[in-house]
Amino acid sequence: MINLVSAIDRIAFRIGEVEVAWYGLLIVLGMMTGLLIVLSQCRRIKLNTDDAVEFFLWVIPIAVVMARLLYVMVRPDEYFDPAVWKEDSTQAFVDMIAIWDGGITIIGGILGGLIGVIIFSVRKRDKANFGQILDLVVPALLVGQLFGRVGNFINQEAFGKPASMLGIPEKFPFSVYIDNPSGVEPEYHDMVYSNTPGWFAATFFYEMCWNAIGAMISFAIWRKNKRYPGILAFFYFFWYFLGRGLLEYVRIDAVPVTQIACFVVVPFAVIFAGAYILLQENRHAFKKVNDAFASGTLDTTVLTKWEVDNYGVAVKILQKPNKLTYKIYGITELNVAEVEVSSKEAIDQYRTDRKEQRKALQKAEWEKTVQNLKSLPHKIKDLPHKIKDLPNKIKALPQKFAGKNKDVAPHTQNTEITETKIDAVETADAQKDTAETTPDKQE
């Protein structure tokens, strides 16, 4: 059991003269596991499997390059020694990029991955936003880091100070037996090699447990969270860097700048997460009140004091025209009416006015109903007469239809009647003239 670690060869297998290290295989396995997680969850944000593969191709290469780059940049004496480069520049360059021998920093990987996420989110902005993509990648990232810590275990690196110095039990999982250490910073050489072989704090295992807990928490948040897309990014920066900063006190490969960066990132992650949540609450409150106002249901919409106050703050912010703020709040312009109801008092007054209008309308409808009810007895009283008169109305229907037919008689019939009338008038006039002339003849 004591020689478990030293019994594992760092080289997994050889292909000719090419050696394939366990560390490299585990890193690839971590990447593949992360990709599988992304593939299984991408549909939740309307991405398909092709999108997930493209995401992988953007994020992983940039993350690996940045992880190695930042690792060598903070170790100039080891990788940028002018004498070594002058003696054998080819070998010096190979040593600088030899990620298969171990030596990457997660901080560089995070920065590179973030660059890849930004590029991918811009390309797929019509499907998912930046925050949703960050939420998708965080659980996969924490799971992938577990495999990297197993690689540290096999390489006998990233362990802590001697167990006897820390007062912890000399047995796994509290400590790990080291007989061939690697990745030891110069200031820790005497401490490590004077106690080798021996038991050292299993800091890589501590971090594995810490990341596993973080992965479970982040996955639970990912499944439930819809109100705050992107919140998992703040959670990751808080969770990972808090654990890493504490472990830097114990690790024998700690770099001072890393520890400082960790304890700078943690409080900023908390502050920015709080500010982001407040902004999202403000946006949701503005949208709820604004939609209710636009649809005419503001008087019936249930609003809390928190939502009303946030709506007022949002209106004050939006009164200063700015394309960015308009885009954040999802509007193209701010209406005057929205400004007029931007306070609790104005909303209360608006609700009161609407209630009064509704009451007046209901009163008018009620009065009309009462009037109809009052006239109902008279209508009932007249009902027998109407029923009695019903046969006469039925008998009159043929005459009514006949009258309609008469109205639409042919034009020739009307012409004949008119001509007959004219002839009768002319005959009457002729007889009258004859009667008038007869006395003259007698005279």
Q: How much is the pLDDT for 216? A: 95
20: enclosing H helix or E strand: strand 18-21
Averaged pLDDT for residues 150-162:
88
How does pLDDT run across 75-89, given as a tens digit for each residue?
Answer: 888 888 888 888 888
Instruction: For the beta carbon of residue 301, count every other beta carbon within 10 angstroms.
Output: 15
Of 55, 28, 23, nearest in space to 158 by CA: 23
- Do residues 150 and 36 make contact, with C-beta atoms less than 8 angstroms apart? no
pLDDT in tens, 93-105: 888 888 766 677 8
Give the pLDDT score at 349.
Answer: 62
- Ordered alpha helix ranges (H), 88-194: 89-97, 106-123, 130-155, 163-166, 189-193
In this prediction the pTM is 0.72
Write down the pLDDT at residue 442: 38
- Of 20-29, 266-275, 278-287, 406-415, which one has max mean pLDDT? 266-275
Q: How confident is the model at residue 378 (pLDDT cuts 50, 70, 90)?
A: confident
Neighbours of 94 (CB within 10 A): 11
Whole-angstrom distance, CA of residue 338 vs CA of residue 323: 18
Torsion of CA 359, 360, 365, 370, to 10 degrees: 90
Phi, psi of 201 (to 5 degrees): -60, 130
The phi, psi pair for 175, rounded to 5°, reads -140, 170
| Range name among 39-48, 61-70, 312-321 with the lowest pLDDT average | 312-321
Beta carbons of 244 and 105 less than 8 angstroms apart = no
pLDDT at 351: 63
d(CA 239, CA 145): 13
Q: For residue 185, give every residue at least 6 positions away whose Cβ sits within 8 Å of its Cβ, in sequence order, or none.
A: 252, 253, 254, 255
Start-to-end CA span in the chain (Å): 170
Q: Which are the contacts of 135, defined by CB distance < 8 A and separation ≥ 6?
A: 45, 222, 225, 229, 230, 231, 232, 233
Q: How many residues does the chain have?
A: 443
The pLDDT of residue 126 is above 50: yes
pLDDT digits (tens, 9 = 90+) for 389-432: 778 777 777 776 676 555 554 544 454 444 554 455 455 555 55
Confidence check: pLDDT of 145 > 60: yes
Nearest to 236 by CA among 213, 256, 206, 258: 213
Burial of 174 (0-12, 13-18, 19+ CB in 10 A): middle
Query: Is 13 in contact with 20 (CB distance < 8 Å)?
Result: yes
Residue 434 in this model has a pLDDT that exceeds 80: no
C-beta separation of 155 from 99 below 8 A: no
pLDDT digits (tens, 9 = 90+) for 205-245: 999 999 999 999 999 998 888 889 999 999 999 999 999 99
pLDDT above 90 coverage of the chain, percent: 27
Digit-coded pLDDT (tens) for 290-344: 888 777 777 777 778 888 888 888 888 888 878 888 888 888 777 655 556 556 6
How many Å separate Cα 371 from the centre of its chain?
A: 56
Half-sphere exposure of 246 (CA within 13 A, CB side): 11
Q: What local confidence, expressed as pLDDT, does residue 389 receive?
A: 76
| pLDDT given for residue 438 in this prediction | 43
- Whether residue 173 is preceded by a cis peptide bond, meaning omega within 30 degrees of 0, is yes
Q: Is the pLDDT of residue 439 over 50?
A: no
pLDDT above 50: residue 441: no
